[in-house]
């Protein structure tokens, strides 16, 4: 079911599963009934809790509920001629970036490789469904045009549909309809995957590595190597491990500041990790394949080969634009000097407002354009990322955090803290860690200072504590009197 493109069997390779068998498994999984789901075959361990699409139809935010009740986010972005999926690698995040909604959650656990890939499955189904809906709308237009023109050729009728839509909007520029058809055909599959969702991917290195290998494997997802991007706040040792184990994929560094002092203020985990070492590790990843060829030939590489390597595999710097010291023109010069002579890609990210402690905002568009021009003057390829999904809580972790706040506020009057059934309820903090049994979670929740759970046994415990304290006091007093009596003798 996870197979996107089948490949012919070759000598020495195991044959693919029969298509009829895969269709059977898919049909059984779709017919799974909640009343009898234990007797049915389930192909996925997670499910889509909810999904929202932006008003312009370009972005879909997906909340995926895992088998243990935790929720992670994925974002499906539809660009012109391609679809990109942003996936999560952890539940929460330990890095604690001040501008990130996921950082307010803390770390709750790692996703296994299958859970990462299942986000791709869910997003593919949603993308295919939206593509089919557009197809039905087009078929309704075709049925009208068949009467007008008398032609049955679908390509001709599609061109006429495009021409009719162009006539209704005189300001819309006319495009090549055949190229438009080809772009629409490419939109039914996800072509790009970026690990820029919840969590720090390199802190879940083994599972992310397995997931990346499955994505670029011809027998499974068959994505192009340069279409998979792993983003990191800056775990230098793991960056070097990725360069060794999987140099084919792209690597993006979330820098967000041009010097160490500024970076430590907004990225607490940056303490002890110099920016220079991060840039060097990023540069080594970009030049890994070129270095291997140079070592094999015994000849070093020149500036032209560095430029060619930067085009084949992107090593990116992500830089969030916040009003303050990090977005000044001086900071732009410092950032440009860091990238000078390396041909790195700098991606400026307009800040998407989230419910974090610090009140942050995004600079004006004119200021960001000036900032971009300054960085580009040092030889870096600098772009401003297009803002998408602002109307559907599109920022990383924003949707999950908002849902948890709503759940904390909505408490049934029958399930209040003084209810007899209160001890049966599992508080939100009981889901704070993955991979623990229920008894361990319940004991942790009862000892948490932020949780107030009062059970019917609490009054008796208080009385027993008071009685024990009185008994201990009497024992100490009687012992003191006994010692004094012996000394007087």
Helix, strand or coil for residue 42? Answer: coil
- DSSP strand pairing (192-195 vs 47-53): unpaired
CA 271/CA 325 separation, integer angstroms: 18
Contacts 24+ apart (CB under 8 A), 175-183: 181/155, 182/81, 183/80, 183/81
- Is residue 396 among the annotated active site residues? yes
Q: Where would I find the H helices in 150-274?
A: 154-168, 177-186, 205-216, 236-245, 260-266
| Inter-helix orientation angle 205-216/236-245, to 10° | 30
Which member of 38, 73, 161, 295 is catalytic?
73
**Could you give the CA distance from residue 164 to residue 149 in angstroms, rounded to a whole number?**
13
The CA distance from 45 to 124, in Å, is 16
Dist. CA 466–CA 461, nearest whole Å: 9
**Active-site option among 100, 212, 382, 396:** 396
Is 32 annotated in the active site? no
Phi-psi region at 341: left, alpha or beta (left = phi > 0; alpha = psi -120 to 50): left
| Token representation of residue 189 | 């599959």
Ordered DSSP codes for 112-132 = PHHHHHHHHHHHHHHHHHHHH
Question: What phi and psi values does residue 24 have, to the nearest 5 degrees?
Answer: -65, -45
Write the CB contacts of 118 (distance below 8 Å, at least 6 apart in sequence): 44, 45, 46, 64
Exposure string of 443-454, with b = 16+ CB inside 10 Å and e = fewer, is eebeeeeeeeee
- Are 370 and 348 within 8 A, CB to CB? no
Q: Active-site positions?
A: 73, 396
């Amino acid at each position: 079911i996870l197979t996107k493109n089948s490949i012919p069997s070759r000598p020495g390779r195991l044959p693919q599963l029969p298509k009829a068998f895969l269709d059977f498994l898919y049909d059984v999984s779709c017919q799974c009934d909640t009343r009898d789901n234990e007797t049915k075959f389930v192909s996925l361990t997670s499910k889509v809790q909810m999904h929202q699409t932006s008003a312009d139809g370009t972005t879909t935010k997906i909340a995926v509920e895992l088998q243990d009740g935790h929720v992670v986010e994925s974002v499906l972005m539809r660009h012109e001629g391609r679809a990109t999926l942003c996936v999560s690698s952890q539940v929460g995040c330990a890095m604690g970036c001040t501008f990130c909604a996921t950082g307010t959650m803390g770390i709750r656990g790692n996703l296994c490789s299958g859970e990462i890939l299942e986000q791709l499955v869910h997003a593919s189904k949603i993308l295919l469904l939206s593509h089919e809906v557009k197809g039905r709308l087009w078929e309704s237009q075709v049925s009208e045009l068949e009467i007008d023109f008398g032609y049955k050729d679908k390509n001709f009728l599609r061109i006429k549909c495009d021409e009719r839509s162009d006539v209704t909007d005189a300001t819309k520029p006319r495009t090549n309809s055949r190229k438009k058809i080809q772009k629409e055909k490419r939109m039914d599959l996800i072509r790009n995957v970026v690990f820029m969702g919840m969590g720090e991917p390199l802190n879940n290195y083994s599972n992310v590595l397995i997931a990346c290998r499955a994505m670029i494997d011809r027998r499974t997802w068959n994505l192009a190597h340069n279409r998979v991007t792993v983003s990191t706040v800056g775990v230098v040792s793991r960056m070097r491990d990725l360069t060794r184990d999987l140099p084919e994929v792209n690597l993006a560094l979330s820098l967000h500041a041009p010097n160490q002092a500024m970076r430590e203020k907004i990225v607490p985990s940056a303490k002890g990790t110099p920016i220079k070492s991060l840039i060097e590790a990023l540069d080594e990843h970009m030049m890994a394949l070129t270095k291997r060829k140079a070592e094999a030939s015994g000849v070093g590489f020149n500036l032209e080969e560095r430029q060619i390597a930067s085009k084949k595999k992107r090593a990116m710097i992500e830089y969030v634009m916040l009003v303050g010291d990090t977005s000044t023109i001086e900071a732009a010069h410092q950032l440009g000097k860091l990238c000078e002579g390396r041909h790195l890609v700098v991606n400026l990210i307009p800040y998407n407002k989230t419910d974090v402690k610090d009140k942050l905002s995004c600079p004006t568009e004119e200021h960001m354009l000036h900032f971009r021009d300054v960085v580009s003057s040092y030889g870096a390829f600098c772009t401003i990322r297009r803002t998408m999904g602002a109307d559907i809580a599109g920022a990383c972790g924003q949707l999950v955090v908002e849902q948890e706040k709503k759940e904390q506020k909505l408490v049934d009057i029958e399930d209040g803290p003084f209810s007899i059934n209160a001890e049966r309820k599992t508080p939100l903090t009981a889901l704070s860690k993955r991979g623990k049994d229920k008894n361990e979670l319940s004991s942790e929740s009862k000892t948490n200072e932020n949780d107030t759970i009062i059970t019917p046994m609490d009054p008796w415990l208080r009385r027993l504590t008071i009685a024990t304290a009185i008994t201990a006091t009497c024992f100490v007093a009687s012992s003191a009197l006994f010692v004094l009596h012996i000394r007087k003798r």
